[in-house]
A and B are shown apart, each in its own frame.
Chain A
Amino acid sequence: MKNKREGKVIFSPYERGDAVKKVVAISREDVLFELRESILKGRGGAGFPTATKWTLVSAAISDEKFVVCNADEGEPGTFKDRILLLEYPELIFDGMVVAGYTIGAKKGIVYLRGEYEYMLKSLEDYLGEMRKDNLLGENICGKIGFNFDITIRLGSGAYVCGEETALIESLEGNRGEARNRPPYPVNTGYLGKPTTVNNVETFAAVSHIITKGGSWFAKFGTDKSTGAKLFSVSGDCEKPGVYELPWGTTINELLEIVGAKNTKAVQVGGASGICIPKSQFNRKLGYEDAATGGSIIIFNESRNMLHILKNFMEFFVEESCGQCTPCRIGNVKLLEGIEMIENNNYTFSYLNHLKELGKTMQVASKCGLGQSSPNAFLSILENFKDEIFNNGGNNGK
C-alpha cells in the first residue's frame, strides 16, 4: 500500500514504535540533548528550534500539559503533511509520544485540517492499533507511569487556525483568532496549560532523530538548516509532488529535479512566502536564505505575475480573521491597488503608499497571518516591476 518514496532522512527506513521503544529507555534530558544536537527547527515555516520549545514546556510547572500536532495544512501549495498523514502516520504519532514523554504530557491532540476529514477513520484505526501494541495508553512499552494518548480534532476550514494560538482558540471552541503574545503557548496554551504545538513534519523528524541520533540528523543540510525537508512542488513542471531534499538545495537544482522548464518565478513558502525571480534561482532553500514550510509553486514564462499576485491577495482578504486593523483592512487596500494596476488606473505615489502600508502590516499586525500577507505583494512588485508596469500589466496570458 505504501508508496516507495525516496529520501535519506524523513523517508528513511522506520518501523512503528522504534522511537517510542527507544525513548522510554532514556531520560528526558537525553531527548532534549539529542534534539539540541540535531538543531531541528520547526517545519511549519517559522523555524523555531524544537529543542528550545520543548525545554520551555518541560520546565513549565503545571499539573497538566499538552502536545498538539498542527495538521491544519492550509498554506496554498502545501500538501506534504497530507502524504505523511496518509503514508507515514507512525512517524507523526511516535513523535508525539516522544514529545509527551519529554515534556510530561498525558494528552496529545492532532488538529486535523477540516478538508482532511476523509483520513479521520484510517488515522483513528491506526491509533487503535498503537493502543493494542501499548505504544499509547498506560505504562507505555512497560515504562511504569508513562501514560499518553492521542485524540484527533477537526478544524473547520479557517486558514488562520494554522497559527498556533488561533489553533488553540479553535480547539477550545472559540472563534479562530490569534491571541496576544506574550504569553506564549509554552506557558499558557490549550486550556491555559503549557502546550507544545508542532508541525506534522517536525514530529516525523523527531522520530528519526530519536532512533538515529541528533548528530546523524545534523549531518544533512546546512549549518543553520539541518536535516532534510519535504517540499510540496506544484505549478509548471513535469513532475509535481512531494520531494525530500536536504536543506541547502538551490532553487535551480530543485527545478532540475522536478523537470521545470522556462521558469520565470518560484513562489517559496506559499501565499505568505516570497516570489523569487529567475535572477535569484541560485538561492538556497533554508532558514537562512529562502525559507519555506514546504510550499514551492513554479511559474513559467506564460504566467502573468499580476494575476498570480491578485490570486494571493484575494486569498488573504478572505482568510484574515478580521480582528486587527492592519490585516483586516490592509489586505483589502493591497488588493484594491492590484486592481488599479490591472485597470491601468494607478499612480506610483499611491503604490508607494501601499508598499509602506505593506511594511507596516508586517510589523504591526497581531499575528503571523497579517505579518506575512504583504510578502507576496512586496516581493512581486519589486521583482517583477518591469513586467507589471512596462507592459501596462498585460504581459502573459
Chain B
Amino acid sequence: MESRSNFRTPVSQQAHVIEKPKDTSTIGGMVAIEINEKKVSVPFGTTILEACKMNGISVPTLCHHEDLCVAGVCRICVVEVEGMKTLQASCAFPITNPIKIKTSSPMVRKARRHVIDLLLSEHYGECYSCFRNGKCELQNLAKEYGVDNYTFGHVTKPRYEIDNSSYSVIRDMSKCILCKRCVRTCIDLQEVGVLEAVNRGHETKISTFLDKPLLDVICINCGQCINRCPTAALRANDPSDEIWAAIDDPTKHVVIQTAPSPRAAICEEFGMEPGHSLTKELNTALRRIGFDKVFDTNTTADLTIIEEGTELILRLYKAIVKKESVALPQFTSCSPGWVKFLEHYYPEYIDNLSSAKSPQQMFGALIKTFYAKKAGIDPENIVSVAVMPCSAKKFECNRPEMNSSGYKDVDYGLTTRELARMIKEAGINLPEMPKSDFDSPFGEASGAGLIFGATGGVMEAAIRTVYEFITGNKIEDAFEKAEVKPVRGFEGIRYVELPLGEKFGPVPDILKHFIPNWDWLKGVTLKVAVAHGTANAKKIMDDIKAGGKFSECHFIEFMACPGGCLGGGGQPIPTTPEIRKKRAEAIYAEDESLEIRKAHENPNVVKLYEEFLTDGPCGHISHKLLHTHYTKRGRYIA
C-alpha cells in the first residue's frame, strides 16, 4: 500500500494504485479491451481515462488533475462498462480485465449533461464578470455539451461571504463546485492541509479550521490551490487597480521588476504554446503601459547568490575552523511560501534559514535607497511593483519587517496572470511587441539569476559562484557549459555531493576580510540537496529531525511550489507536469544564450559593492538592507 503512506488524503479519494507491469510483454501485461467498439490493448492497471486518452478519445474531466490523486467525485467522466449496472468514473477505474467501454452512449451523454446542469444550478456568478471567463473549466464543459439554458435553475444570490482576509488567496466559495482539487493540493501536494470539506450533503463546503479567515490559519500562501481550481472560487488578491492608479498619478514614479518565471510563462496568457520567454517584448509592453522604469529581478538574484553564498561560507568557516555552533545545513530563503511553511511547521529550524532576503525584497530595498538617490527621486514618491510567478510574494512584501529602506520596500506583488490582464486591458498584444532592454542602473543580469525560476536553479547558481570562489577554477571545467545537471530536473528531492578537491585558489577580494585562505576546506565534500513542493520539503525536514543523511548537508534549496517558481501560484492556469517542463526549458535556453552566467561576474553587482554596499557582502550596509529575520509562528494561531 505505497499510496497510503505517501498521501494523507482520505482513501475515499484515492484510486487503488495498481502496479503496472514493468514489462508489458509478459503474459497479462497488456489487457485487450474495446472502446466504442474499437479493439485496443492497454497495460494492466491503466485507468479507463488514460486508455481513452492514449487512443485519442476525449473524456471530459473536472475533479481529475494530473498532479493530484484521484477523487472520482464530480462524475463528469462517467462511461458505460458493459455488464455493469451503473456508469463508472473513468478516472478512477483501473482496467484489469477485458472490458467493453462506451464513452458516448445516450446514457453517458445524459448523465454528463445532468452533472453540468446540476453544478450550474448551484454555481453563483455570471461568466462575463468573472476573472476566469474564457479559462473556466465548468464554462468550457457547458459550452462543449451545448448547455443553452439552466435546466435546474441558477442561483442569483451568493451563498457564502467572500474571504478576502489573506494577502495572497481570496476564497469565493459561492463559485465552488466541490471538486476538492484544492483540498488534495493542500494536503497531498503541499502537506499543509488548511482546506478540507466539512458538513454533509447539500451543506458540504470547503472550509478552513473552524471556518476561520484564511489569514488566521496556517496557510503558506503558495497559491497552488488557485492554479488547480477549475472555476473562480479561488483567486489571487489582485492589486492591479492600485497599480493603475499609481501609474495614472503624475507625482508617482512607478518602477517594476520582472522575475524570470513570469517572463517564461506569460506567453501562455496570449494564446502561445508554453515554453517561450518574452522577456524583451515584456520590457516594451511595460513601458507602454506606463511604468517609468523596468528592472530585472535577476540583478538581485545575483546579489542574493553573493550574499547567501558568503553567508554559507561564513557558517562553514565558523563550524569547521572556529568550532562554533552554527545552524547547518543552511536553507534558502527566497521562496516566501517555503519560509512560512518552516515558520509554522519547523520553527525550531528558523536559524537555518539564510538571513538573505529574497531577490524581490532586496530589489525593493535598493530601489528606495540606492536608485532613489542616484536618480534624485524622493523615495516617498516611488511606487515599487514586482511581477512574480507567486501569490506568496504578496504576503512577503507586506511583512512588517520589510521596510529597511524606511518605506515599504515593495509596494505591490503582481502575478503573471494579473500582469497579463493589465497588458490586455492596455490593448497590447504582447507577442507582437518589439524587443527592448532593461533600464539602467541595473540593466541586464546573469544567467545565474535567471535560473532561479526553476527548481534547482538557486543551487546551480550558488554552485557556479561558490565553486569558482573556492577552487579558483572555472565551473566549466567541472560541468560542461556550466550546466550543473545533477541539481536539475523534476525529481521531488535531489541530493548531490561535490568534492572540493585539494587545490584552492586565492580568496576573492570581497571575502578577504572574513577568511585568510581556503585550506580549512581540504578534503571537504560539499553536500547539497534540492526539494520542491512543501510535501518534499517536509520529507527532508523530517529526515533532518531524525538525524538522517540530509542533516549532514551544507546547503539545501527549498521551493514551495512544484517545479519551483515556474510552477508558482501566480502563473498561468492550467498547470501540468508537461507545461512546467516546457517553462523550465525556456528558462534554461535563455540562460544558455546569455554571455554572463555567473552571479559574481555580473558587472552591475560588482559595481553595487564598489559604490553602495561598500563594506562587502554580509557587511553592515548589506545587513541593514539585504538581510532579514523570521518569526517562529508555530501551528497555533489565535
Q: Which of B11, B115, B201, B202 has the most CB of A within 10 A?
A: B201
Q: B197 near A: Cβ within 8 Å?
A: yes
The verdict on B433 contacting chain A, using a C-beta distance below 8 Å, is: no
Whole-angstrom distance between the alpha carbons of A32 and B199 in the complex?
Answer: 42
State how many angstroms separate the Cβ of A68 from the closest Cβ of chain B: 15
| Interface residue B118 (Cβ < 8 Å from any Cβ of A) | yes
Q: Are A174 and B10 in contact (CB under 8 A)?
A: yes
Is B75 a contact partner of A182 (Cβ separation < 8 A)? no
Q: Which residue of A lies closest to B119 (CB)?
A: A325
Contact with A along B175-197 (1 / 0, CB 8 A): 00110100000000000000001
Q: Is A169 an interface residue (CB 8 A)?
A: yes
Decide if A158 is an interface residue (CB 8 Å cutoff).
yes
With both chains docked as a complex, state the minimum distance between the C-beta of A324 and any C-beta of chain B, in angstroms: 5
B-side contacts of A90, CB under 8 Å: none
Q: In the bound complex, what is the Cα–Cα distance between A178 and B89 (angstroms)?
A: 13
Question: Dominant SS at the B interface?
Answer: loop
With A172-B11, A175-B10, A357-B152 as known contacts, state yes or no: A366 contacts B89, CB within 8 Å.
yes
Q: Is the CB of A333 within 8 A of B16?
A: no
Asked if A279 CB lies within 8 Å of chain B CBs, one says no
Task: Indicate if the CB atoms of B75 and A317 lie closer than 8 Å.
Answer: no
Contacts of A330 in B (CB 8 A): 114, 118
Min CB gap B4→A, angstroms: 6
| Whole-angstrom distance between the Cβ of B121 and the nearest chain A Cβ | 6
Specify which chain B residues have a CB less than 8 angstroms from the CB of A364 in the assembled complex.
75, 78, 86-87, 111, 114-115
Interchain CA distance A117-B309 in the complex, whole Å: 64
Taking a contact as CB atoms closer than 8 A, the residue among B70, B76, B96 that contacts A180 in the complex is B70
User: Total interface residues on A, using CB and 8 Å?
Assistant: 42
Q: Do A320 and B75 touch across chains, with their CB atoms under 8 A apart?
A: no
Q: Is there contact, CB below 8 Å, between B152 and A326? A: no
Interface status of A256 (Cβ within 8 A of chain B): no
Q: Which chain A residues (352-396) contact chain B, with CB distance < 8 Å?
A: 353, 356-357, 360, 362-366, 371
| A318 lies within 8 A of B12 (CB) | no
Nearest CB in chain B: distance from A295 CB, A: 21
Q: How many Å lie between the Cα of A143 and that of B592 in the bound state?
A: 74
Q: A residues within 8 A CB of B202? A: 317, 320, 322, 328-329, 331-332
B204 at the binding interface (Cβ < 8 Å) = yes
The residues of B that contact A322 with a CB separation of less than 8 Å are 178, 197, 199-204
Complex interface: chain A residues within 8 A of B14 (CB): 179-180
How many Å from the CB of A369 to the closest CB on chain B?
Answer: 10
Do A328 and B111 touch (CB < 8 A)? no
**Cβ-based interface call for A166 (8 A):** yes
A323 at the interface (CB under 8 A from B): yes
> Does B371 count as interface, using CB distance less than 8 angstroms?
no
B86 and A362 contact, CB distance less than 8 A: yes
The answer to whether A180 touches B15, judged by C-beta atoms less than 8 angstroms apart, is yes
CB distance from B312 to the nearest CB of A (A): 43
A180:B119 contact, CB within 8 angstroms = no
CB pair B93 A325 closer than 8 Å: no
Quick check: is B546 within 8 A (CB to CB) of the other chain? Answer: no
A251 to B141, CA, bound (A): 47
Q: Which residues of B contact A207 (CB under 8 A)?
A: none
Question: Across the interface, which residues of A come within 8 angstroms of B89, CB to CB?
Answer: 180, 366
Given known pairs A320-B201, A333-B118, A363-B86, the reply for A325 and B73 (CB within 8 Å) is yes
The answer to the question of A13 belonging to the interface, with a C-beta cut-off of 8 Å to chain B, is no
CB distance from B373 to the nearest CB of A (A): 59
Nearest A residue to B96 via CB reads A182
Residue of A321, A356, A360 touching B200 (CB-CB under 8 A):
A321
**Which of chain B's residues have a CB closer than 8 A to the CB of A178?**
12
Residue A183 at the chain B interface, CB threshold 8 Å: yes
Note all chain A residues with C-beta closer than 8 A to B78: 363-364
Q: Which residues of B contact A321 (CB under 8 A)?
A: 200-201, 204
The answer to whether the Cβ of A192 comes within 8 Å of any Cβ in the partner chain is yes
Cβ contacts under 8 Å, B152 to chain A: 329, 333, 353, 357
Residues of A within 8 A of B13 (CB): 177, 323
**Contact string against A for B residues 220-257, beta-carbon threshold 8 Å, 1 for contact and 0 otherwise:** 00000000000000000000000000000000000000
CB <8 Å contact, B16 and A365:
no
Query: What per-residue 1/0 map shows which CB atoms of B74-97 lie under 8 Å from chain A?
Result: 111010000001110100111010
Nearest Cβ distance between residue A4 and chain B, in whole angstroms?
41
* Bound-state Cα–Cα, A123 to B177, Å: 44
Tell me the bound Cα distance from A356 to B109 in angstroms: 12
The minimal Cβ–Cβ distance linking B382 to chain A, given in whole angstroms, is 50
> Within the complex, what minimum Cβ distance (angstroms) separates A66 from chain B?
14
- The answer for the CA separation of A330 and B116 in the assembled complex, in Å, is 11
CA distance A353 to B180 in the complex (A): 28
Q: Are B107 and A323 in contact (CB under 8 A)?
A: no
Contact indicator B72/A366 (Cβ below 8 Å): yes
Q: Can you name the residue of chain A whose Cβ is closest to the Cβ of B3?
A: A192
Whether B199 lies near A182 (C-beta < 8 A) is: no
Known: A172-B11, A318-B201. A360 touches B114 (CB 8 A): yes
Distance in angstroms from A193 CB to nearest chain B CB is 9
Q: Which chain A residues border B409 with CB–CB below 8 Å?
A: none
Also in contact, A182 and B201, with CB within 8 A (given A175-B12, A329-B121): no
Give 16 CB contacts A-B under 8 Å: A175-B197, A180-B72, A180-B92, A183-B16, A192-B1, A192-B4, A318-B200, A322-B178, A322-B199, A323-B12, A326-B115, A326-B118, A333-B118, A353-B151, A365-B86, A371-B86
Closest 8 CB pairs of A and B: A322-B204, A183-B16, A180-B92, A320-B201, A177-B12, A329-B118, A192-B1, A364-B111
Residues of A within 8 A of B (CB): 158, 165-166, 168-169, 172, 174-175, 177-180, 182-183, 188, 192, 317-326, 328-333, 353, 356-357, 360, 362-366, 371
